[in-house]
Amino acid sequence: MKRISAFVVLASAILIAITGCRNNPPGNFWGRQEPDSLYTGKKYTIQRPFKFPPITNKYADSLTYEGVELGRRLFYDKHLSKDGEKSCASCHLIQYAFSDSGVAKSANETGLTKRNAPALQNLLWAKQLFWDGKITGLDATAKDASHNELAIVSDITISYLKSDSVYTVLFKKAFGRPGDINEEEIDKALEQFIMTMISCNSKYDRVQRGEEHYTASEERGFHIFSSDTGGCFRCHHSGGGSSLLLTDNLFKNNGLDSVNTVYQFADSGRGGVIHVLSDYGKFKVPSLRNVAVSSPYMHDGRFKSLQQVINFYSDSTRISPSVDPLILFLFRSKKSHHLTAREKGDLLNFLYTLTDSTFLNNTALSSPFK
Ligand code: HEC
Ligand code: HEC
């Protein structure tokens, strides 16, 4: 026994001496490259838009054009779903900022989704995904979405992908090695594509950049939004000098429901994930970018129009154990804080300036199958 292990140690020492490398990848015994692994994609650099927070996501630096293109094909490809009739884009439509088209809950294999399909934009800056933040990391989100919302069956999907010449080339180039198409790579490619969904050219952005001016009503609406008259900025801003994400990416209860105990919430939200009583009934503060095209609103899609949302904040927020103190302060404490009809109209006009038609019509983000 001793002799055998001494032999193994000696043999490995010789091997290391020959190859000069301890970390040869398995299968590449002599450290030689397979010819296929010479396929590598071209680096795709994400530019940080003006006044946006720094990009801290480490994976953002490893994007390639081929990886992004691969993610885009996967996102729009119906072959990925169990019934062959759905793709990610069935519920995340570009013209609605990648939210669903006017439905509170989206239809999938098993019935209806539990919650409203959110817009997908600027998620490169999001740390927790889904309304309850149950997932960290876009690749994990893609994985969860593939299995739950899309009901994909891994082996069927993978054998389809392996039989398609466009996919095999893209997989090789995107991941720089002999393509062994697997689920992890599918999720990583989807992540790369989602990272490129950047909205940064609404009128709101152009005014920030000094390229355009608000109308008088939009200007008044902006002040209602950004002061305690409306108080919206206190949650729908990222703070720290950069407000352009229009969300603080935190979990809050904005007073939608009146309950006596936290267990009475129809959806426990954040509390259901981290099991902290004070987090029941809290949901991720959504970005208000492109909000004019992403109706209906809230985690359950209860409001059809922005007028209804504004009326709700102004006139009918409700009390519950986890309601945000700001909601009580802004909308319930003083009658004078309720918005007048004119203020509501101005606020609405301001919300319309958040629509980014460059993003909604970006051909780099639309279906490659047309
Ligand atoms: C049947 C409709 C449907 C399909 C198909 C679908 N999604 Fe979703 N998506 C949703 C819903 C609903 C949510 C919100 C779920 C929640 O918060 O509980 C969501 C949430 C997300 C989020 C999180 C967004 C955020 O702001 O936190 C991402 C990212 C996402 N989906 C990507 C994808 C990808 C990638 C695919 C394809 C693999 C996909 N979705 C397929 C309905 C769908
Ligand atoms: C205390 C924090 C807070 C304040 C203040 C606040 N919001 Fe919200 N807002 C939220 C949260 C949290 C949600 C998601 C709630 C949910 O779905 O359960 C939300 C959702 C929304 C939505 C729906 C977006 C979507 O994609 O479904 C709109 C529109 C909106 N808010 C506009 C406003 C406006 C306008 C104001 C100011 C009058 C405002 N909010 C003030 C926290 C806040």
- The shares of helix, strand and coil residues in the chain, as percent rounded to the nearest 5, are 45, 5, 50
The rounded Å distance from CA 353 to ligand 1 centre is 26
Query: What tokens appear for 284 in the block?
Result: 């991720």
pLDDT in tens, 147-182: 888 777 678 888 899 999 999 999 999 987 666 798
User: Can you give the pLDDT at residue 179?
Assistant: 60
Model confidence at 241, pLDDT cuts 50, 70, 90, reads: low
Does ligand 1 have an atom closer than 6 angstroms to the CB of 88? yes
Q: Which amino acid is at 359?
A: F
| CB-based contacts of 144, cutoff 8 Å, min separation 6 | 130, 135
User: Can you give the pLDDT at residue 232?
Assistant: 95
User: Can you give the pLDDT at residue 362?
Assistant: 98
**Do the Cβ atoms of 201 and 207 come closer than 8 Å?**
no
Mean pLDDT of 282-291: 97
Q: Which amino acid is at 349?
A: N
Closest Cα to atom 31 of ligand 1: 145
**Do the Cβ atoms of 214 and 222 come closer than 8 Å?**
yes
Closest Cα to atom 12 of ligand 1: 117
> Mean pLDDT highest for which of 14-28, 227-241, 294-308?
294-308
Q: What are phi and psi of 217, to 5 degrees?
A: -70, -40
Q: How confident is the prediction for the chain on average, in pLDDT?
A: 87
Model confidence at 2, pLDDT cuts 50, 70, 90, reads: very low
Q: Is the pLDDT of residue 83 over 90?
A: no
Question: Ligand nearest 285 Cα, by number?
Answer: 2
The rounded Å distance from CA 370 to ligand 1 centre is 23
User: Can you give the pLDDT at residue 123?
Assistant: 96
Q: Is the pLDDT of residue 117 over 90?
A: yes
The rounded Å distance from CA 107 to ligand 1 centre is 12
Of the candidates 164, 63, 99, which has an alpha carbon nearest to the alpha carbon of residue 369? 164
> Mean pLDDT highest for which of 60-64, 244-248, 280-284, 326-330?
280-284
Does ligand 1 have an atom closer than 6 angstroms to the CB of 300? no
Which tops the pLDDT comparison, 167 or 84? 167
User: Can you give the pLDDT at residue 24?
Assistant: 34
User: Can you give the pLDDT at residue 323?
Assistant: 96
Q: Which domains does the chain have, with CATH numbers?
A: 58-198 (1.10.760.10), 203-354 (1.10.760.10)
Does ligand 2 have an atom closer than 6 angstroms to the CB of 283? yes
Specify the ligand 2 atom closest to the Cα of 119.
26
Specify the ligand 1 atom closest to the Cα of 80.
38
Q: Is the pLDDT of residue 32 over 50?
A: no
Beta bridge partners of 252: 283
Does ligand 1 have an atom closer than 6 angstroms to the CB of 149? yes
Query: Of 48-57, 63-72, 148-157, 331-340, where does mean pLDDT reach its minimum?
Result: 331-340
Beta bridge partners of 128: 136
Model confidence at 185, pLDDT cuts 50, 70, 90, reads: very high
Distance CA 119, CA 356 (A): 13
Q: Is the pLDDT of residue 145 over 90?
A: no
Percent of the chain residues past pLDDT 90, beyond the cut: 68
Alpha carbon of 50 to those of 194, 200, 209: distances in Å?
20, 8, 8
Question: Ligand nearest 290 Cα, by number?
Answer: 2
> Mean pLDDT highest for which of 29-38, 130-139, 172-181?
130-139
Model confidence at 332, pLDDT cuts 50, 70, 90, reads: confident
User: Can you give the pLDDT at residue 18?
Assistant: 36
pLDDT in tens, 244-260: 999 999 999 999 999 99
Does ligand 2 have an atom closer than 6 angstroms to the CB of 301? no
Which tops the pLDDT comparison, 199 or 8? 199
Q: Which of 143, 149, 161, 198 most suits a substitution to test ligand 1, by most atoms within 8 Å of the C-beta?
A: 149
Of the candidates 256, 259, 237, which has an alpha carbon nearest to the alpha carbon of residue 320? 259
Q: Is the pLDDT of residue 240 over 60?
A: no
Does ligand 2 have an atom closer than 6 angstroms to the CB of 196? no
Closest Cα to atom 13 of ligand 2: 285
Mean pLDDT of 72-88: 90
Specify the ligand 2 atom closest to the Cα of 324.
1
Does ligand 1 have an atom closer than 6 angstroms to the CB of 124? no
